[in-house]
Amino acid sequence: MQKSISFQHHTFWVTLLCVCLAPLALSAQSIRPQRDSGSVNRGRPGFADSILQKIEHVQQTLTRINNVTEEGFNTDEIEQDLPDIQANVQIIQENLSLYSSVLNIKNLLMFQVLMGDMQQRLSDWRSSLFRYNKELVTMQLEMRNFGRDDVFQQLRKDTLLQQLYTDQLNDIKKNWRLARKSARANMAHITTLQANVSKNYFALVELQDNVRDRIRQTGMQSFGKEYNYLWQVADSNKTNVQLMELASKSYRGQRKMLGYYFREHQSNWFWLLLIAGVYFFWVFNAYRRIKRAGQLELLEEARFNYVNAVPVLAALVVALNMAPFFDLRPPSSYVEMMQFFLMLALTALFWRNWPRRLFYYWVAIVVFYLLFSFTNAVITPKLSTRLWLLALNMASVVFGWLLLPNVRPPMRKFTRMVVYIYIGLNLLAALCNVLGRISMAKIMGTAAIYSLVQVIALSVFTQMITEAFHVQMLSSRVAEGEKQLFNYQRIQAKLNQLLSFGVVTCWLIIFTTNLNIYNYFLRIVEHVLTAPHKIGSTRFTFWGIILLIAILYLANTLQKYIGYFFGETEEGFGAEISRKGSRLLMIRLCVLTVGFLLAIVATGLPLDKITIVLGALGVGIGLGLQNIVNNLISGIILIFERPLQLGDYVEIGENKGRVRDIGIRASRLITAQGAEIVVPNGDLLSGQLTNWTLTNNHIRVEMEFTISPTEKQEIARQVITQTLTGHQYVMNKMPVEILFISITDEACQLRVQCWINNIAAEHTVRSALLFDIYQALKGADVEVK
pLDDT, block means (10 residues), the chain with 785 residues: 41 39 39 40 51 71 76 81 86 72 67 84 90 84 68 61 63 76 84 91 89 76 68 56 61 70 78 92 91 80 85 92 74 76 92 90 93 74 82 94 86 90 94 85 89 92 90 78 61 79 85 80 84 76 84 82 63 48 70 81 67 66 67 75 77 81 80 82 80 79 85 86 84 85 85 85 86 87 82
Phi and psi torsions of 703, nearest 5°: -135, 145
What is the distance between the alpha carbons of residues 34 and 158, in angstroms, rounded to a whole number? 12
Distance, CA of 198 to CA of 204 (rounded, Å): 10
- Domains in the chain, number: 4
**DSSP per residue, 247-302:** HHHHHHHHHHHHHHHHHHTHHHHHHHHHHHHHHHHHHHHHHHHHHHTT-HHHHHHH
Rounded CA separation 675/568 (Å): 18
> C-alpha distances in angstroms, 445 versus 95, 219, 227, 407?
26, 17, 18, 21
Which of 691, 722, 741 terminates a domain? The answer is 691
- Taking the C-alpha atoms of residue 766 and residue 703, their distance in angstroms, rounded to an integer, is 8
Determine how β-strand 538-540 pairs with β-strand 649-652: unpaired
- Here the CATH number for the domain that contains residue 769 is 3.30.70.100
602 and 485, same structural domain? no
Strands of 671-777, DSSP E? 676-680, 689-691, 699-708, 737-743, 748-756
One domain for residues 150 and 282: no
Q: Which of 691, 724, 747 is the last residue of a domain?
A: 691
Residues 154, 110, single domain; the answer is yes
Single residue among 516, 548, 582 that ends a domain in this structure = 516
Amino acid at 780: A
SS3 state at 597? helix
Q: Give yes or no: residues 473 and 392 share one domain.
A: yes
Please, are residues 461 and 317 in contact by the beta-carbon 8 Å criterion?
A: yes
Do 619 and 642 belong to one domain? yes
Whether residue 206 is contained in a domain is answered as yes
Nearest to 248 by CA among 88, 388, 379, 370: 379
Task: Answer whether residue 758 is part of any domain.
Answer: yes
User: How distant is the alpha carbon of residue 450 from its chain centre?
Assistant: 26
* pLDDT for the residue 487: 62
Sign, CA dihedral 213-214-219-220, equals positive
**Beta partners for 534?**
539
- Which DSSP string do the residues of 648-692 spell out, in sequence order? -EEEETTEEEEEEEE-SSEEEEE-TTS-EEEEEHHHHHHS-EEET
Nearest alpha-carbon partner for 462 in 408, 417, 533: 408
What pLDDT is recorded for position 9?
42
3-state secondary structure of 310: coil
* Amino acid (one-letter) located at 193: L
Residue at 205 is within a domain: yes
- Determine whether 60 is exposed, middle or buried from the number of CB atoms within 10 Å of its CB (0-12, 13-18, 19+): exposed
Instruction: Count the Cβ atoms, other than its own, within 10 Å of residue 128.
Output: 19
How far, CA to CA in Å, does 12 sit from each of 19, 22, 86, 701? 11, 16, 99, 153
Q: Looking at the structure, do residues 483 and 588 belong to the same domain, yes or no?
A: no
Domain membership of residue 647 (yes or no) is yes
pLDDT at 157: 61
Residues 332 and 468 in one domain: yes
Which residue range(s) make up the domain with 735? Answer: 699-784
- Residue 357 domain flag: yes
- The distance of Cα 594 from the centroid of its chain, to the nearest Å, equals 16
Q: Which residues contact 258 (CB under 8 A, 6 or more apart)?
A: 110, 331, 333, 334
User: Is 330 within 8 Å of 510 (Cβ atoms)?
Assistant: no
The Cα 26–Cα 395 span in angstroms is 122
Q: Which residues pair with 447 in a beta bridge?
A: none
DSSP code at position 564: G
The per-residue pLDDT for 363 is 94
Question: Torsion angle of alpha carbons 288, 292, 293, 298, nearest 10°?
Answer: 40
Instruction: Give the containing element (helix H, strand E) for 768.
Output: helix 762-779
Q: Quote the crossing angle between the two packed helices 312-321 and 332-353, to the nearest 10°.
A: 150
> Are 678 and 722 part of one and the same domain?
no
In this structure, the chain runs to a length of: 785
Instruction: State CA 394 to chain mean position distance.
Output: 43
- Asked if residue 300 and residue 447 are part of one domain, the reply reads yes
Q: Domain for residue 14, yes or no?
A: no
3-state SS, residue 424 = helix
9 in any annotated domain = no
Q: Are residues 512 and 586 in the same domain?
A: no
pLDDT value of position 103: 59
In-domain check, residue 391 = yes
pTM value > 0.85: no
| Number of helices followed by number of strands (H, E) in the chain | 26, 11
Q: Which residues pair with 659 in a beta bridge?
A: 669
Q: Which CA distances in Å does 344 have to 197, 209, 270, 283, 347?
A: 41, 39, 20, 22, 5
Residues 325 and 344 in one domain: yes
Same structural domain, 727 and 773: yes
Positive or negative, the CA dihedral 266, 271, 276, 278 is positive
